[in-house]
Amino acid sequence: MRADDLGLLTAVQDEQATWSWENFGEQPDVNPLLGIGEELGEFYEATKSKDKLDALCDVAIYSMDYATRRRWNLAHLVEAHSPLIADNPTVQAMAISDCPLMVALGRLNHAHLKEAQGIRGDASVHQTAAKEALAAIFLECAAEFYVLPQASKLSFVEAISIVWSRVVEKRNWKKNPGGKKAKAAG
């Protein structure tokens, strides 16, 4: 990933963190984890490249929120874990799977659950696995993005920034919890 993309990813995560706290306050980290799964479902259901792009960017935005709630920087995780992911036999097996994004999500869920349950290793073991899985989700989303027609014009991080600033950031769930635009009276 380019250095300017890493900087942009950090800047968007910082903005997203402020927005998330303003809209949702103190929430458990499992909420954005569920959001990652929700958006992956939308990605696999989508038939139009525009909808696939939106879902991939939303996965990344939920990934930022999950990372923020864990006090992690997603750009640092992606940068740090990219070489490790390439050499990891578990990840290599994931790459030949029919659904590598779902395998990565399963690995993240596994690490999160086992850490919460306090089983199969101490917290640091599960946090390391969760960080690697979150980085793998991001990188797999990027790989999926680069086969879409829109990819010829932008980097994945630039697309995330656009979806963030034009759509997600404009939502105010406190004022409008229904998510629909208010109809004019009369």
In the chain (186 residues long), the average pLDDT of successive 10-residue segments reads 88 97 94 97 96 97 98 94 60 63 94 96 94 94 90 89 94 84 44
Domain enclosing residue 87, as ranges = 3-170
12 belongs to a structural domain: yes
178 belongs to a structural domain: no
160 belongs to a structural domain: yes
At residue 81, the pLDDT reads 82
54 belongs to a structural domain: yes
What are the b/e assignments for 13-32, b being 16+ CB within 10 Å?
A: bebbeebbeeeeeeeebeeb
At residue 108, the pLDDT reads 97
At residue 182, the pLDDT reads 43
176 belongs to a structural domain: no
Q: How many domains does the chain have?
A: 1
